[in-house]
Structure formats: structure tokens, C-alpha cells
């Protein structure tokens, strides 16, 4: 693998535990990565910095890539989300979240294979709120034609590149006629004019969620605005074993930040029981991204070896507690390392 430098943000809660485990596996697999450590979130505040330090953003802009642990956001008060700031300020407009059934992880469903594409910069999730008058508050949902078109085109391009067969947009354009109406109109335009060969479907999100839990095999790729993408990601995680096994990437035209879908899990932090797999899978996505973007075939080969190793570990019933196993974070990482193909 060609040498590359990647910003590492350990994050809060279980973040440092799962990033350390992931780094161990990547090193054992023969990656050639110089980690550039930076802070964000509570860890940055504790170090006397801003919650989203400019130096961290500048480092990601300089190196182009980051692997990020989760960052805590206070509920109902306090600072605005580090994750929202990061995605907006670096224009990481496409969140990609593959959700697939794993060997040895038994759930109600078999053969789930979904990819969620979430618009990452607009919508209600931006948290643009104000108090109209005491006792009356409002939240602003923003959708722009350029951003809706951009994410739709990104999703269809991804579908073509990865040989996916169908994109389903989940929306609520029956109620939010302007904002969600714009979102589906832009998706329709891109489908009709640029990618008519990919199947396209629209579902109102409430009925879409029902159909997802009835039979996820009816779906292939999901395209959603920001807040719906957030919620439906966790729903889909529940189809395949939970938040410990769903990776993610936040991708823009110039930079990409790879992170698990899960949060900082304060309930299990510091106990060496968190599942590092979601972050490890995010790192595998990062290696495949390096292979695609930089033409580094070795990075892609290492990604395949790591995936083979964790699939084998799960098939051998080496699992953390969230999946019904009894291994700790470090012991699971060791089990993966032991199964790396030569």
C-alpha cells in the first residue's frame, strides 16, 4: 500500500476504545498509514479547545481523509453537534451506510443487503431553531435544489458504479410539499434524464418503514434527506444485529470522514465491551475509497483481507456482548487479527 496520512479523531465515550482496536487491526493487516491525531467533541473541550477545533478541520482538509470515533452531543441544551458542524463545514454531503447480514449473527432476517444514502448538510437536522415568542419555538427545514440534485446524482452514480439495481426515496412530500417535494422532484429528474436504467421508487416514509421491517429484501438502496436518513439508519441497523455492525462514510468532493453510525454509547464507555466492528468496517470502506480514488490496488486488497477476517471471526462465534458473545473489545480485535489471511 502506498504511504498515506489520515487524521484520527478518537472521539468521546467508547470512541477511544473502538479506534484503538481498529488501529491495531489495520496495522496487523499491513496498512501503511501515518495517523495524525486530532480532537473533537468533549475531548477537545477538556483540552481547552473549541468543541470543533479549527485545527482539526484544517488537518482533514490538508490530508483529505479522517477516521472518526463518535462525539457526544448534549440533549436539549449545550453546544450544537460536532458531527453536524464537521459535515457542513467540510461539505461532506453524502453519508453512505451499507447494511448487510453478517455470518454467524442471527436476526429475524437473512440476506439483508441495503445501502443508505443520506443527504448530510440540509433539512431539519441542521438544527436551525428559534423562539418566535416565549412558549413558541420553531425549527427550520431547508432544502435547496442544488443540494437535492447533488445527492441524487451522487446516489445514482454510486448505484451504477456498484452495480446496485434500485433506488427507493423515502419522503413525506404529502405533508412537506415544498421541501420533500423538491427532494423527490430532483431525484426524479436525475433518474429520468441521467440514469433511466436504474429502477426508481418513491415511498412515503411511514409506510416505507413498515415495509422495511416486513421484508427488507424488497429494498436495495435508500435515498433520504438528512433527518429521515438518521432515523432509518438505526432502524436498518436493528435488522442485522444493531449499531455495533453498521459502518458509515461522510463523503464530499474533496474530503471524506469515515465513522460508525453509532454514537458515543456512554452507558458502556470505559468497560472494554463495545463492539469495534462498526468502526473497523468504516475503516474498510476507507481503504476501498483509497483504492478507488488513488488507484492503490493494495489498499483494496487489504480491505478484502480484513473483511474476510472479521466475517470468519463472526462465523466462529467470536462476538462482543451486543451480538450475544462474551468477548471484550480488545479480545475481539485479537480474534480478527488471528484470522487475517496470509
Q: Which residues contribute to the site for ligand NAI (CB under 6 A)? A: 14, 70-73, 83, 243-244, 259, 262-268, 274-275, 278, 322
Q: How far is the CB of 319 from ligand NAI (least distance, A)?
A: 11
CA–CA gap between residue 334 and residue 160 (Å, rounded): 37
Whichever of 176 and 331 has its CB closer to ligand NAI, that residue is 331
Q: Which is nearer to ligand NAI, 123 or 300 (CB)?
A: 123
Which residue bears the cell 470468519? 312
Distance in Å, CB of 94 to ligand NAI, minimum:
15
Picking from 341, 322, 320, 342, the residue whose alpha carbon sits closest to that of residue 330 is 320
Q: Which is nearer to ligand NAI, 252 or 263 (CB)?
A: 263
Question: Between residues 265 and 309, which has the closer beta carbon with respect to ligand NAI?
Answer: 265
**Least distance in angstroms from the C-beta of 329 to ligand NAI:** 8
β strands within the chain, DSSP E:
4-9, 33-37, 65-68, 94-100, 113-119, 129-133, 136-139, 166-171, 199-204, 221-224, 249-251, 256-259
Inter-CA distances, 70 with 27, 56, 139, 229, 320, Å = 21, 15, 25, 17, 19
Nearer to ligand NAI by Cβ, of 196 and 266: the residue is: 266
CA distance 292 to 301: 12
- Please, what is the minimum distance in Å from the beta carbon of residue 194 to ligand NAI? 31
- Nearest distance from residue 63's CB to ligand NAI, in Å? 20
Smaller CB distance to ligand NAI: residue 31 or 81? 81
Sheet holding 199-204, edge to edge: 33-37, 4-9, 65-68, 256-259, 249-251, 94-100, 113-119, 221-224, 166-171, 199-204
Q: Smallest distance from the beta carbon of 249 to ligand NAI, in angstroms?
A: 12
Using Cβ positions, the residue closest to ligand NAI within the complex turns out to be: 263
Query: Do residues 45 and 75 lie in contact, with contact meaning Cβ atoms separated by under 8 Å?
Result: no
Q: How remote is the C-alpha of 12 from its chain's centroid?
A: 17
Q: How far is the CB of 104 from ligand NAI (least distance, A)?
A: 16
In this complex, which beta carbon is closest to ligand NAI, that of residue 14 or of residue 29?
A: 14
Amino acid at each position: 500500500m502506498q504511504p498515506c496520512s489520515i487524521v484520527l479523531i478518537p472521539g468521546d465515550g467508547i470512541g477511544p476504545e473502538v479506534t484503538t482496536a481498529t488501529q491495531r487491526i489495520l496495522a496487523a493487516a499491513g496498512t501503511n498509514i501515518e495517523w495524525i491525531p486530532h480532537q473533537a467533541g468533549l475531548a477537545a473541550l477538556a483540552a481547552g479547545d473549541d468543541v470543533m477545533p479549527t485545527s482539526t478541520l484544517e488537518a482533514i482538509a490538508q490530508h483529505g481523509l479522517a477516521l472518526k470515533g463518535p462525539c457526544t452531543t448534549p440533549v436539549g441544551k449545550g453546544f450544537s453537534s460536532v458531527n453536524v458542524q464537521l459535515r457542513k463545514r467540510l461539505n461532506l454531503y453524502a453519508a453512505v451506510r451499507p447494511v448487510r447480514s453478517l455470518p454467524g449473527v442471527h436476526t429475524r432476517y437473512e440476506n439483508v443487503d441495503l445501502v443508505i444514502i443520506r443527504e448530510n448538510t440540509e433539512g431539519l437536522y441542521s438544527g436551525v431553531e428559534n423562539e418566535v415568542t416565549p412558549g413558541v419555538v420553531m425549527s427550520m427545514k431547508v432544502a435547496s435544489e442544488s443540494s437535492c440534485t447533488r445527492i441524487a446524482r451522487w446516489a445514482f452514480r454510486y448505484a451504477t458504479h456498484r452495480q446496485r439495481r434500485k433506488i427507493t426515496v423515502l419522503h413525506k412530500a404529502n405533508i412537506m410539499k415544498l421541501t420533500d417535494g423538491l427532494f423527490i422532484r430532483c431525484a426524479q429528474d436525475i433518474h429520468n434524464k441521467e440514469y433511466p436504467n436504474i429502477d426508481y421508487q418513491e415511498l412515503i416514509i411511514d409506510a416505507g418503514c413498515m415495509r422495511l421491517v416486513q421484508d427488507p429484501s424488497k429494498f436495495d438502496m435508500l435515498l433520504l434527506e438528512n433527518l429521515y436518513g438518521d432515523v432509518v439508519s438505526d432502524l436498518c441497523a436493528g435488522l442485522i444485529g444493531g449499531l455495533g455492525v453498521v459502518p458509515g462514510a461522510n463523503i464530499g468532493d474533496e474530503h471524506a470522514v469515515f465513522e460508525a453510525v453509532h454514537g458515543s454509547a456512554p452507558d458502556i464507555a470505559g468497560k472494554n465491551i463495545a463492539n469495534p466492528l462498526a468502526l473497523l468496517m468504516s475503516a474498510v470502506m476507507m481503504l476501498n475509497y483509497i483504492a478507488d480514488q488513488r488507484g492503490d490496488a493494495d489498499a483494496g486488497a487489504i480491505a478484502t483481507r480484513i473483511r474476510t477476517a472479521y466475517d470468519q471471526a463472526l462465523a466462529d462465534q467470536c462476538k462482543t456482548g451486543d451480538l450475544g458473545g462474551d468477548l471484550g473489545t480488545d479480545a475481539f480485535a485479537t480474534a480478527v487479527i488471528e484470522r487475517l489471511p496470509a
